Amino acid sequence: MTFDELFLTNLKGIYFAERQVLKALPKMAKAAESAELKQALTEHRDGTQGQVERLQQVFEILGKRAQGVTCEAINGLIEEFTELVDEAREAGPVRDAGIIAAGQAIEHYEIARYGTLVAWAKSSGRKDVAALLQATLDEEKKTDTLLNKLATGTVNMQAAQAA
């Protein structure tokens, strides 16, 4: 396997992942009770659409067809969210705390993947590709910070008091 092939495999993995996240986010927003959390997830859905398009640009630059390969990690992360919503049943701060946790786990997966892809693109001298992926990486970090603020600012305290 060449370094280019390794890069492409991981690019296809995150392309699959982003499109799964795109489908999951409206469900997460629907399950949320907090208006702020609903809004954050809805806005992140729109952002994710842009991230998918950025990945398509990367495929184009590399002269490859935009194509996903199944990424079991993201399937597992989304499954954990679905199970949580099932188990928590009622909407409220406890379920919101769980939704934020699931969202942050997804963000961290993406942060790890984009971090790696940016570093690989730079090592291969592909500054154009690195810049595109870096833009998404910055957005994922911002979303993680926002979710963190929602959790520690209001939701966790409400969840602790609800118990």
Tokens standing for 56?
A: 């398509």
* CA nearest to 46, candidates 34, 60, 29, 63: 29
Provide the strand spans (E) within the chain: none
Q: How far, CA to CA in Å, does 18 sit from each of 11, 90, 106, 110, 162?
A: 11, 28, 10, 8, 34
CA pair distance 46, 21, nearest whole angstrom = 11
Range in contact with its own copies (rule: CB under 8 A) among 18-26, 27-35, 58-66, 84-92: 84-92
- If one asks whether residue 71 binds its own copies (CB under 8 A), the answer comes out as yes
- For the bound state, the minimum distance from the C-beta of residue 65 to its own copies, rounded and expressed in Å, comes to 19
- Binding residue for its own copies (CB under 8 A) from 46, 53, 60, 79? 79
The binding site for its own copies (CB under 8 A) comprises 1-4, 6, 9-10, 13, 71-77, 79-80, 84, 87-90, 94-95, 97-98, 100-101, 104-105, 107-109, 111-113, 115-116, 119-120, 122-125, 148, 151-152, 156-157, 159-160, 162-163
